[in-house]
Amino acid sequence: MNKRRLGLLTGTHAVNDLYQGLVPALLPLMVLERGYSYTAVAGLMLAGTGLSSVVQPLFGLYADRHPRSWLVPTGFLVAALGIVLAGLSRDYLLTWIAIALCGLGIAAYHPPATVAARAAGGTSQKAMSVFSVGGTIGASFAPVLAATAVGGGSLSRSYLLGLPALAMGAIWLLANTGTSGNAAAAASAAARRAGAHMPKPHNDWRAFGWLVATIVGWSIPYVTVLSMLSLRITRDLHGTAFQGAAALTAFTAAGAVGTLLGGWLGDRIGRMGTIRTGYLFALPSMAGIVLAPSPAWALACTALLGTSMFLPFAAQVTLAQDYLPRNPATASGITLGLALSVGGLVSPLFGMLSDARGLGFTFTAVLCVLCAATVLALRLRNRTMQPPPAETAGTEAAA
């Protein structure tokens, strides 16, 4: 494991996902200052997240065919530029274009950065979990940064939001120049030439399809819980607003803990054992929320659910890359972008179901979806691939 390289990539992930989190964090401020309607807000959210999820596999295809390390810093710098322009623009169309630019930067970052993190981590599942948590930490700071820099009707100060990206860009430049950076680049190029004539393992698209279906079944409960859990506690269980907010905080924090714990377990009990354990423990946790008699019971089950659902997260990313060894960036783009976005795309349907039948019925339906995802997870099979020669050599040289 190249800890220095992994730490640098984790830092870039935190900065990149900071701008992903700034999109929803800035929307309430835009409503107050510019008087946007809910429809306009939904349009901006679609530009920032929906477009990013759809084009992310395309950037994965490009990264597989034309590996370019500059995509990593370019991604988060473009995302920062989009956020700054969105804050400074007064025209809605220009704001929409700016947030779409932010989404494109976020999409461009993830596939190559995930492949680079896998190379830096070697065979360790813990490395991928650390990289993943970096993004969670960055996104969690977005509301604080938005309120501090541009809160209180001060969107004209949005240029301040670009400072984290500029600082990380400078760090990236310093870390990738000089003697060690040149040596790593030379070793990586030599290894690519040496490995060009080596036969590459085939892509297992069938197994990858089953994994994508599993992740889709994971994303639907995740998005539904994230959007409706607070209402479930306050309306159905007669909890306070504080208890509803505490449940969401517990779910997010437990997700970060589960991601790290999943990486640790993956190195000890294996990748498939971690995936199956996460899904099997998530089922009684979700059932506990459905049958919860009180807010306190729901809060406890929520913490367990967040931990369980994120146990398989890092393992699923590395498994996707091993299913498609010829296209690891594409695999990352589909699993982290397109498959995870399905939960958001179908969330209006569950909202309509809640209006018609109540939140209890909706959470029961979500439990059924999670059961189907668990069945799919249990039928997944492991596939271990050695890191590509270019990545291995480049990592060792950088170390």
Residue with tokens 């730490």: 7
Which range is most confident: 3-7, 53-57, 138-142, 344-348?
A: 3-7
Q: Is residue 209 part of a domain?
A: yes
Confidence label for 373 from pLDDT (cuts 50, 70 and 90): very high
Percent of the chain residues past pLDDT 70, beyond the cut: 90
Higher pLDDT, 340 or 35: 35
Q: Is the pLDDT of residue 392 over 60?
A: no
- The average pLDDT across 127-147 equals 85
pLDDT attached to residue 49: 74
Same domain, 149 and 237: no
| Distance set, CA 359 to CA 155, 235, 251, 291, 372 (Å) | 37, 9, 18, 12, 20
Q: What is the pLDDT of residues 272-299, one digit of tens each?
A: 999 999 999 999 999 999 999 999 999 9
Same domain, 40 and 154: yes
Confidence label for 11 from pLDDT (cuts 50, 70 and 90): very high
pLDDT attached to residue 394: 40
Q: What is the pLDDT of residues 49-84, one digit of tens each?
A: 777 777 888 888 888 887 778 889 999 999 999 999
Same domain, 127 and 226: no
Same domain, 96 and 218: no
Domain count of the chain? 2
Q: Is residue 399 part of a domain?
A: no
Same domain, 98 and 28: yes
pLDDT attached to residue 199: 60
Q: Is residue 14 part of a domain?
A: yes
Same domain, 171 and 314: no
pLDDT attached to residue 398: 39
Same domain, 25 and 161: yes
Same domain, 352 and 213: yes
Query: What single letter denotes the amino acid at residue 240?
Result: T
Residue with tokens 């900065």: 15
pLDDT attached to residue 393: 36
Neighbours of 169 (CB within 10 A): 18
Which range is most confident: 4-8, 78-82, 330-334?
A: 78-82
Q: What is the pLDDT of residues 149-205, one digit of tens each?
A: 887 778 889 999 999 999 999 999 998 885 455 544 544 444 444 444 556 688 899
| Long-range CB contacts (within 8 A, 24+) of 291-298 | 292/237, 293/237, 294/237, 295/233, 295/237, 295/238, 295/239, 295/240, 295/243, 295/247, 298/229, 298/232, 298/233, 298/237, 298/239, 298/247
Q: Is residue 118 part of a domain?
A: yes
Q: Is residue 123 part of a domain?
A: yes
Q: Is the pLDDT of residue 31 over 70?
A: yes
Same domain, 97 and 46: yes
CB 73 within 8 A of CB 17: no
Burial class for 265, CB neighbours closer than 10 Å (0-12, 13-18, 19+): buried
What's 118's domain CATH number? 1.20.1250.20
Q: Please say which residue of 155, 176, 197 terminates a domain.
A: 176
Q: Is residue 29 part of a domain?
A: yes
**Mean pLDDT over the full length of the chain:** 83
Same domain, 23 and 90: yes
32 backbone dihedrals φ, ψ, rounded to 5°: -70, -40
Q: Is the pLDDT of residue 381 over 80?
A: yes
Same domain, 226 and 351: yes
Same domain, 30 and 106: yes
Domain that holds residue 278: 205-379
Q: Is residue 199 part of a domain?
A: no
Q: Is residue 182 part of a domain?
A: no
pLDDT attached to residue 300: 92
Q: Please say which residue of 160, 176, 192 terminates a domain.
A: 176
Q: Please say which residue of 176, 191, 213 terminates a domain.
A: 176
